[in-house]
Amino acid sequence: MVLNRLLILGAGTAGTMAANHLAKVLDHDWSITVVDRDVDHHYQPGYLFVPFWMDPDRVLKDRRDFLPGRATFRQEAVRLVHPGRRQVELAGGDLLDYDWLVIASGSVPRPDLVPGMADGALWRDTVHEFYTHEGAVALRDALPASTPAGCSCTCAASASPPTSPWSGSTTSAGGWSPTTAASCPSTCW
Ligand SMILES: Cc1cc2nc3c(=O)[nH]c(=O)nc-3n(C[C@H](O)[C@H](O)[C@H](O)COP(=O)(O)OP(=O)(O)OC[C@H]3O[C@@H](n4cnc5c(N)ncnc54)[C@H](O)[C@@H]3O)c2cc1C
């Protein structure tokens, strides 16, 4: 019988870890519900590689695969928390009751707070970030002329991929020279 309700808002890294850790220690008289607006778990450090070589889809996985079996996943945006009533209001109007609430809704870049950064036509044209999936993709699209194309095809053979996209340098001829032969794979990504 469920007596207590754990509600986790956000199924990114923090919400997913909270759900998994708490699933191990909470008795089965606890229900666990995780809410997120979508099903795409983002491996955010992978954004670093997207502008240079990585397929953007590779940093996305179905977030439901990482939640513990006893958790219920609810896909919907959260609109409001009513702490006095211990309720969370979803975008569609449903109310979720909780006994414990974990807010793990992450952060968003605020370039608008840096004068000159996000205003005007330069944003995502010549001014970029790679702290969001769409930002990393926009930076990739803005870089084709300077992307070291040689990194994908002309490097020395190696069994493992480079540890970072900066393990080499561009050459004056416009090519790509890996720092060490072992730092690039033999095939294109
Ligand atoms: C380029 C880059 C490199 C990084 N490198 C490292 C590293 O080397 N080491 C390291 O430890 N960390 C690194 N980080 C940081 C790390 O990735 C983040 O700290 C971590 O992913 C944040 O997890 P989170 O769960 O707090 O937030 P998120 O993963 O952003 O999750 C928040 C979730 O809440 C959901 N959400 C938000 N608002 C609502 C709402 N109103 N309704 C419904 N759902 C909502 C979102 O959809 C999202 O799924 C890096 C990040 C970036 C961008």
Based on the fold, state whether residues 134 and 189 are members of the same structural domain: no
Based on the fold, state whether residues 24 and 70 are members of the same structural domain: yes
Based on the fold, state whether residues 63 and 21 are members of the same structural domain: yes
- pLDDT tens over the chain, length 189 residues: 779 999 999 999 999 999 999 999 999 999 999 999 999 999 999 999 999 999 999 999 999 999 999 999 999 999 999 999 999 999 999 999 999 999 999 999 888 888 888 877 788 888 899 999 999 999 999 986 544 544 443 333 333 334 444 344 444 443 444 444 444 443 333
- How many structural domains is the chain composed of? 3
pLDDT of residue 60: 97
Residue 149 CB: number of other CB atoms within 10 A?
A: 16
Q: Measured between alpha carbons, how far is 157 from 50 in angstroms, rounded to an integer?
A: 22
Based on the fold, state whether residues 35 and 99 are members of the same structural domain: yes
Which residue has the least CA distance to atom 9 on ligand 1? Answer: 45
Entry field: residues in the chain:
189
Task: Match 């840096």 to its residue by tokens.
Answer: 114
Which residue has the least CA distance to atom 31 on ligand 1? Answer: 12
pTM: 0.80
Which residues does a 6 A CB cutoff place in the pocket of ligand 1? 10-15, 35-38, 44-45, 47-48, 77-78, 104-106, 130-131
Which residue has the least CA distance to atom 27 on ligand 1? Answer: 106
Based on the fold, state whether residues 91 and 123 are members of the same structural domain: no
Which residue has the least CA distance to atom 11 on ligand 1? Answer: 45
Q: Which residues pair with 30 in a beta bridge?
A: 4
Based on the fold, state whether residues 164 and 183 are members of the same structural domain: yes
Which ligand 1 atom sits closest to the C-alpha of 130? 1
Strands 176-178, 87-90: pairing kind: unpaired
Based on the fold, state whether residues 9 and 98 are members of the same structural domain: yes
Based on the fold, state whether residues 135 and 164 are members of the same structural domain: no
pLDDT of residue 145: 57
Which domain, by its residues, includes 134?
110-147
Residue 48 CB: number of other CB atoms within 10 A?
A: 16
For residue 73, give the H/E element and its range. strand 71-75
